[in-house]
Chains A and B, each alone.
Chain A
């Protein structure tokens, strides 16, 4: 349809602003305090890991990112429960941790699929077909709840463009034909596209490897 005739997208309540924006926070509600260790249950291994990170820094608050990452690994996302547990161990308020978690792309503030597929759609990858690749991955993953398919900014691997980070492992250059196998490998718990793993790629500079 012509852009000129395109209707302005509106939410169901008729506004272009998402619902809820005009609902005031409950001002009568007490802010969540630092959780009480006596009543907050934290899995022992998670507690140990967070405390291990805290011990590495002159100021234990520096462990916030590693701690949130650890909690996310346990809970699948930075759920209220995950936040509560980190807050309890680190002696911080949940609100503080939510404010930090919402800043970073790798920390999930809503539930997501277990397997992350970050498809880079930044400039170098898009010059080599990343947008089509991303579309193909989304379509192929469909509504499989196991997958968390996201378009990501430059992942620092433009030499294998277009590429993706699959559960943290970089693979590329990817073609649309690779997509079904990529997802199958993840589902089967295999190494993803072994021949396309960045980990095994030699340096492009021929003289450097001579």
Chain B
């Protein structure tokens, strides 16, 4: 079933006439004819969970905003920088009006009169598409004062970022949108109470908001029948890495992951096997080939101690050493850590150094333990979850591929020894150290 991606490549879908010809902005009319509370009820009934990473119930988040007349804000998170994720990009490029319509309906339910789409600066084409669509929507009276004579007014600005993963974190995003460095804020207060310019702010992902018109069209109860009970609806899944047909696929939540990786994306290249896969972007703990039959939905993935995250499946086949995967992941978080909290700033840096040592033969056996304990000390000890976002996948790799790490370490040491021309029997300085270390650790 295709809801968001229904005939997504129809020529001209990015323009208002084509979008309207297939019933676009009808959901907006329907919503504006209802009281905002009724719209909110539909959103809550739909069971829609946030598509940006945390999977928080969208309707509930809207209901957290204080009631009454005051400046309230709606911010669409289009920063999409989680490695492996590229679904919002295709949606914004090909169907920008769907996002804009959903955003207007959500603003009506939340009572927000000012809205922003924070899009990553690298998405030049997509931002241009949004700007063009916004222009059309404004001309048509869908955005602006007194929309369709409903009394609801909304301003909308497409705001381009400048390259920083942390600006996808909602409070980092708010600071960035206020013209500052994108450092996350301490929570609470949560954005629903004190967000943009200290005002109540609703923040949702592109896909979350783009689903709203469908919910209004079908009715929340009908939408909730799609997918599984705790994960309703359809989801865009970005599949990348070692698969034959990488790309975005719209699936009904709850189908077996194997069906996505093998059925839709074609599985790894001929002769290769899945070694591990990230179910929800590089921040999610890795799963192995034995876990391919896990249903692809929020709760099932949480049960196997991973997460659906942003809905980005990255497949790694058996041609790639796990160390390379861990190193790439750790380096990314080291680069993107904003530096505000010590466990994240130092932990990401030391994890990279330890992984490099394993690779060069300089590691001692206890380094793997130290690395695992660094991850434990990061988790739950930071302002935002960027630190955890490295610690979770790295920990999972150490647990699930410990033997490979150890073998990698030993092989690298043997290579280093051979390079030095040291006879096997002779102890090198590093050997002595590692023997001491192992003894101390035992």
Contacts and interface: CB of A to CB of B under 8 A. Distances in A.
Contacts of A168: 122, 124-125
Interface in B106-156: 114, 120-125
Given A100-B181, A168-B124, 20 more contacts: A2-B361, A4-B430, A57-B157, A61-B179, A62-B178, A65-B176, A65-B179, A103-B164, A104-B163, A123-B314, A123-B332, A124-B84, A155-B122, A156-B86, A159-B86, A159-B246, A169-B125, A198-B125, A203-B94, A204-B265
A4 B419 contact: yes
User: Interface size bucket, A side?
Assistant: 35 or more
B249 A205 contact: yes
Contacts of B210: none
A105 B165 CA distance: 10
A204 B236 CA distance: 12
B156 to A, nearest CB: 10
Given A103-B164, A127-B242, A5 B419 contact: yes
B282 A4 contact: no
B122 A203 contact: no
Contacts of B415: 2
Q: What's the interface size class on B, roughly?
A: 35 or more
A103 B82 CA distance: 18
B349 to A, nearest CB: 15
A208 B242 contact: no
B335 interface: yes
Nearest to B246: A159
12 contacts: A2-B417, A3-B361, A5-B420, A105-B164, A154-B81, A154-B83, A156-B122, A158-B238, A202-B9, A203-B5, A204-B249, A208-B5
A3 B71 CA distance: 60
A14 B229 CA distance: 64
A205 B81 contact: no
Interface of A: 1-6, 56-59, 61-66, 68-69, 99-100, 103-107, 118, 122-124, 126-128, 152-161, 165, 168-170, 198-199, 202-205, 207-210
A128 B240 CA distance: 10
Given A123-B329, A126-B328, A204-B248, A118 B179 contact: no
B89 interface: yes
Interface string B71-104: 1000000001111111011100110000000000
Contacts of B412: 3
B393 to A, nearest CB: 10
